[in-house]
Structure 1
């Protein structure tokens, strides 16, 4: 998303909204605390090493980059070491990390949220998948990091997930908006107490951008009755098996996501993607969106 000033558009919009969700309050608190950023960087990283999960509570944390992996032409997996190698991150399901940096040539910090993609039960590490956007200040900075470099982060909570609260969830993602959906999918399916069914619809520009296809394929094979993934490609290869175009009403109906269906009576729809996609799905005051046309109420829809 092209930023204007040190904050991304969606963050500025959330901070000026008349009402704030728990996530928005957490982000606002993070922004308010950025004044402590320079002071924090002077502290030793070893000060974070305690017997408690490192990211379980709000605050600034300095993480050392362990390794990087290019997973597609413009997406990198960044694996960071936690201060305590014997503990998991302590993040709750659907949490994100607000990344804070001062890229070369800037005197104000740049903030962007990213959702960890490795299992939240894994000890010692947290992983981010970062898509590089041309001119993107934070994504360019993160892609330039080398093993041994450090990044300051602050945990923020998103949707508070309760197992089995909804019998079925529809996850609709565009581009890099897939990461919170992947974290939630893993968390639901790998919890033996959670029986929630999941339908994922992911829109991308090209086939090469389906960088989690292998992981989703493995989950679909392991949980065939509970998880289904559909990919929609704007410019597919000639041999692509995926639908061409964008996420439309017809695509969602074909995926079995019409609200009129009895099996979708208590469904929850989660959306994460570029602003034009979210606007098309959720609509505006003057024009109903695709989800409204499908019969969903605002209470059934949540945007990351």
Structure 2
């Protein structure tokens, strides 16, 4: 089918404009659901040769995710990195080109588990260097009953996955002197992408404080990577771990991400060092609500921990 004959092209262009704004991932996904649902029919009616053929061309000279669009990627390999998280490495159609994704970008994954007619959509943040040519990697935590995570964990090398890029916030180097990254569980992946992106840019002097809350010590699956970044960038990057159920002899503090934990990590808005700070939050909904509060109905809004610490809404962004 010629590029301009796609009947859903106007809908996809509308989604491109939507995702170009600084909306949260959850809003972007909600805006895309209707479009992807219709576009799924197009995918169903397209032959496998049509879908994979367009993405199998190499030497195009252009990154695959340079603009919005759906693409089919072939799974190269899988690696179990802890008791419930897999690293999935997908091949890009042009092995000489990087993905074209920018900092704080995610991939909207689209699948049809167990022969479903309607697609399952979930966003995942790539964790390999964005300038690495030929590949994109996703770290996927398996959730009990999770439709997409179960499907992705079942994939074998050679299987294919349909994805589309989602832009999060537009990161500008040195716009903020300090950035606080507060993550829960698998919400660490966008924080890891951003941390490594900032620290690998010699022009970006932003200071980073990371607070990561997990269930067990084994859930700190990027601990070695963060330790290496701390060693390479002393005084600029600090990682704090909070474990709700630590093992015997655990070096990490027990509990949850609370006001006191954030204060102890140096993240009070009253601190002189935090006058120019941006706070980014990504984690399970209960954690995010506790941190950012709720708008509520009929005036029943609740203030979150970050408000209690002195942060204004425009200083906080939820992935």
One of 200, 203, 207 as aligned partner of 2:210: 200
What is the deviation of 1:25?
A: 4.6
- What corresponds to 2:23 in structure 1? 21
Q: Secondary structure at the match of 1:287?
A: coil
Q: Which moved more, 1:248-257 or 1:98-107?
A: 98-107
> Counterparts in 2 of 1:34-183, with a 5 A limit?
34-40=37-43, 42=47, 43-48=50-55, 49=57, 50-183=60-193
- Asked whether the 8 Å contact 2:208–2:237 carries over to 1, the reply is yes
- What corresponds to 1:266 in structure 2? 276
- Asked whether the 8 Å contact 1:45–1:83 carries over to 2, the reply is no
What is the deviation of 1:30?
A: 6.0
- What corresponds to 2:9 in structure 1? none
What is the deviation of 1:156?
A: 0.6
Give, in whole Å, the separation in 2 of the partners of 1:217 and 1:149. Answer: 34
One of 276, 280, 291 as aligned partner of 2:286: 276
Alpha-carbon displacement from aligned partner over 1:250-274 (angstroms, at most 9, x marks no partner): 0000000000001100100000000
Larger radius of gyration: 2
Distance 1:193 1:26, change over 3 A: farther
User: Normalising to structure 1: TM-score of the pair?
Assistant: 0.91
What is the deviation of 1:107?
A: 1.8
Alpha-carbon displacement from aligned partner over 1:179-212 (angstroms, at most 9, x marks no partner): 0000000100000110000000000000000000
What is the deviation of 1:20?
A: 8.4
Give, in whole Å, the separation in 2 of the partners of 1:38 and 1:144. Answer: 24
- What corresponds to 1:233 in structure 2? 243
Q: How many residues align?
A: 286
Listed as ranges, the gaps of 5+ residues in structure 2 are 1-20, 296-300
User: Normalising to structure 2: TM-score of the pair?
Assistant: 0.86
Give, in whole Å, the separation in 1 of the partners of 2:158 and 2:111. Answer: 15
Distance 1:217 1:31, change over 3 A: farther
What is the deviation of 1:232?
A: 0.2
Q: Which moved more, 1:207-216 or 1:285-294?
A: 285-294
Q: Secondary structure at the match of 2:113?
A: coil
Q: Secondary structure at the match of 1:36?
A: helix
- What corresponds to 2:307 in structure 1? 292
What is the deviation of 1:121?
A: 0.3
Distance 1:302 1:128, change over 3 A: same
Give, in whole Å, the separation in 2 of the partners of 1:31 and 1:83. Answer: 27
Give the RMSD, CA atoms, in angstroms.
Answer: 1.6
- What corresponds to 2:317 in structure 1? 302
Q: Which moved more, 1:259-268 or 1:21-30?
A: 21-30
What is the deviation of 1:39?
A: 3.2
- Asked whether the 8 Å contact 1:198–1:226 carries over to 2, the reply is yes
Listed as ranges, the gaps of 5+ residues in structure 1 are 1-18
- Asked whether the 8 Å contact 2:22–2:170 carries over to 1, the reply is no
Alpha-carbon displacement from aligned partner over 1:26-73 (angstroms, at most 9, x marks no partner): 762464144223434522423233221011110100000000000010
